[in-house]
Amino acid sequence: MKITFVLANWVSLKGGVRSNAMLAYHLQKRGHEVFVVSPSKPKPTFRRQAGSLLKGQGWVSTKMKGPSHFDGLDIPRQILDHGPPVTDADVPDADIVVASWWEAAEWVANLSDKKGAKAYLIRHHEVHDYLPKERSQATYSLPMHKITISKWLVDLMRTQYGDSNVSLVPNSADSQKYYAPPRGKQHIPTVGMMYATTYWKGCDVSLKAFSLAAQKIPNLRLVAFGTKEPSPDLPLPSGTQFFHKPAQHTIKDIYASCDVWLCGSWSEGFHRPPLEAMACRCPVVSTEVGGPIDRIENGVNGYLVPVGDSTALAKYLVEVLSLPDAEWQAMSNAAYTTATSYSWDDAAELCEAAFYTAIERTKRGDFSSQMNRRL
């Protein structure tokens, strides 16, 4: 099968890019011909360009720069010499063409049939306040086969958009990258979390939960990492060990230094850090979002609580941290078993089946009525 991934940007260390890279690589391993394409950055407005020059920040480049989760993978890929959109002239003829972001879905929807059956790999419900919500929301009604990464997104596509034929391809945690030997509890009770200022990541909820737990465990320690330095508007507690943009090969050691991983998100498409932490034998206490809903079994490998409930998060942080060492190790090993029971090879097999479904549905004309309504 010839597969084209149309991404908004593959030069990135974001979680969605990591997941796309792993799927592309493991689909290639299964014998498929994979190609990845992204546009250059949109051309900056005159006002933005002038502002950058006046601030001494130099000329705003449209080139994609920096490390990427595709680095080191022998996957044919291209950054176009122009900004959005991606058009027929930019992609090869293929069996399937896949969008993995709402803007990319707009581009793919306008490609001709010879570019392949169209699929929309949905990694979140992208209707946030900082996006043009009417446009992003409209992409979930485009005439293409939907593939999601968590069960709540499958349910959402059915209940909100009336689509009951949606494929599920959950993310995995790479066991070659995220692993840790069996261990006991840390000498100093340690909570880990990912730091981000994006409101729906719920760091305010997590930090409040940590503060409440610290009232019960005075020597409680916090370890965190993130892509941005902590903001004065969302400060970390005194004594926090913070890792800014840690090297990829060191992230497993951060997870392994923790007794429990904390997630207080308000919303997530999947959210890989809890699963990665579990692969490193770290139990998880999380709000009921994305991947954690599908992976966490209360009292076995962690705990789930209602979204926004810092008090409940704190309660279960204390519960996990207070377990006798043998019981904590049992929960730690259960977390590891959960994370390693499903691989990227398994994900690629499911994705392959989803692509064949997209091709068959296109041949049957399942999307013709939707296309006619658009016209």
pLDDT digits (tens, 9 = 90+) for 223-253: 999 999 999 999 999 999 999 999 999 999 9
d(CA 348, CA 30): 8
pLDDT of residue 335: 99
pLDDT of residue 254: 99
Mean pLDDT of 53-60: 61
Q: Do domains 2-172+344-370 and 190-340 have the same CATH topology?
A: yes
SS3 state at 79: strand
Residue 41's pLDDT band (boundaries 50, 70, 90)?
Answer: confident
d(CA 370, CA 146): 14
pLDDT over 80 at 62, yes or no: no
Alpha-carbon distance values, 190 to 122, 261, 344 (Å): 34, 9, 30
The widest CA-to-CA distance across the chain, in whole angstroms, is 65
**Structural domain spans, the chain:** 2-172+344-370, 190-340
pLDDT of residue 70: 93
Neighbours of 288 (CB within 10 A): 15
User: DSSP string covering 154-169, please?
Assistant: HHHHHHHH-----EE-
Mean pLDDT of 339-344: 97
Domain 2-172+344-370: which CATH number of 1.10.3720.10, 3.20.20.100, 3.40.50.2000, 3.30.1130.10: 3.40.50.2000
Neighbours of 79 (CB within 10 A): 18
d(CA 116, CA 133): 28
Tell me which of 129 and 336 has the higher pLDDT: 336
pLDDT digits (tens, 9 = 90+) for 281-329: 999 999 999 999 999 999 999 999 999 999 999 999 999 999 999 999 9
Mean pLDDT of 133-155: 97
Mean pLDDT of 263-281: 96
d(CA 202, CA 245): 19
Tell me the residue type at 330.
A
pLDDT of residue 375: 46
pLDDT of residue 232: 96
- Percentage of the chain modeled with pLDDT above 70: 92
Tell me which of 371 and 368 has the higher pLDDT: 368
Tell me the residue type at 315.
K
Average pLDDT, the chain: 94
- CATH classification code of 190-340: 3.40.50.2000
d(CA 203, CA 236): 10
Mean pLDDT of 114-140: 96
Reading the block at residue 35, the tokens are 């190609």
pLDDT over 60 at 52, yes or no: no
Residue 259's pLDDT band (boundaries 50, 70, 90)?
Answer: very high
Tell me the residue type at 212.
L
